[in-house]
Amino acid sequence: MIASNTPYANLTPEVVLAAVERLGRPTDGRVLALGSYENRVYQVGLEDAEPVVVKFYRPNRWSVAAILEEHAFARELAGAEIPVIAPERIDGATLFEHHGYHYAVYPRRGGRWPELGTSDDRVLMGRFLGRLHRVGATRRFEQRATLGVDAMVRSSAAVITGGDWLPEYLRDRYSQSVAAIADQAEAAFAGVAPRFLRVHGDCHRGNVLWTEQGPHFVDLDDCVMGPAIQDLWMLLAGSRAEMTGQCRDLLEGYEQFNEFDRGELALIEPLRAMRMVHYAAWLARRWADPAFPRAFPWFGGARYWENHVVELGQQLEALTEPALRL
């Protein structure tokens, strides 16, 4: 029986090795934990073969059907020669179960954090995203989520206000800020009316491995139906002028392979605000998992919430500014 608060308590190195070996992959006993919080990911050494990466899904987060849809999307992209690291198919399957855990096996791929410090690098990244979205637009997800304000903002805020997270003197300011963010984000989406397609969903630099040949996209765990800008805005950083130049480069590459509605630039700051609210609630939802207090010791104290409420207020001001103009 897997406990909801400590879902990985029984995922010992012996269980990890046995999960790989039952697929006909003799291991050499080496298990290296890789950085992951939502799921658990390990590099496992094999006898007479390259190591593999094994991903154990957080129990009760996704349905089997939703995970299989993620796998199918990844393999569809890889089949189109888009550099996505897709799960291996073993005896016709990509998802397996052992000791109560669902898991998948991936080839190990190297790479480094993408600086995206040059125009050429950003154009190249844009090309791959344009190709990814061209495939993503060919059909819809049926089992995966659709990006929306209710799930990311209102439901997230309910997690915070429904618990003992907020100091009493911040509750009203927090509630007012997230309510305003929800209303303004909904208005922005209504004004833009973006096309929704299958997107990576969590395309920040930590989910990209950069090599001499360009990027490899990893971790489609949060793939959703969403607007194209969802996979671009998290790659932007710095001042407004800097982000404008970066976005121009990304779209130069993107539009070589796919059309982009420039109206979606108006969604950058609403999406940023939605992610800020959702991130805090994600930490709160996972706080009973012992890995989270160890990894995020700063979360939950009065100082954290004071800063968070200030940042939400600043982001509300950003929502009133004109969209980026390229």
- Residues acting as catalytic residues: 202, 219
CB neighbour class for 150 (10 Å; exposed up to 12, middle 13-18, buried from 19): exposed
d(CA 58, CA 222): 13
Nearest to 88 by CA among 101, 78, 100, 102: 78
The H or E element that residue 66 is part of is: helix 64-79
Q: Confirm if 207 and 83 have CB atoms less than 8 A apart.
A: no
Half-sphere CA count of 313, side-chain side, radius 13 A:
11
Lookup result for tokens 């060919």: 138
Contacts of 62 (CB under 8 A, 6+ apart): 70
Cα torsion 271, 163, 40, 152 to 10°: value is: -20
d(CA 156, CA 26): 43
At 30 the three-state DSSP class reads strand
Contacts of 65 (CB under 8 A, 6+ apart): 143
Q: Confirm if 57 and 67 have CB atoms less than 8 A apart.
A: yes
Give the sheet arrangement for strand 49-56, strand by strand.
Answer: 27-34, 40-46, 49-56, 101-107, 96-98
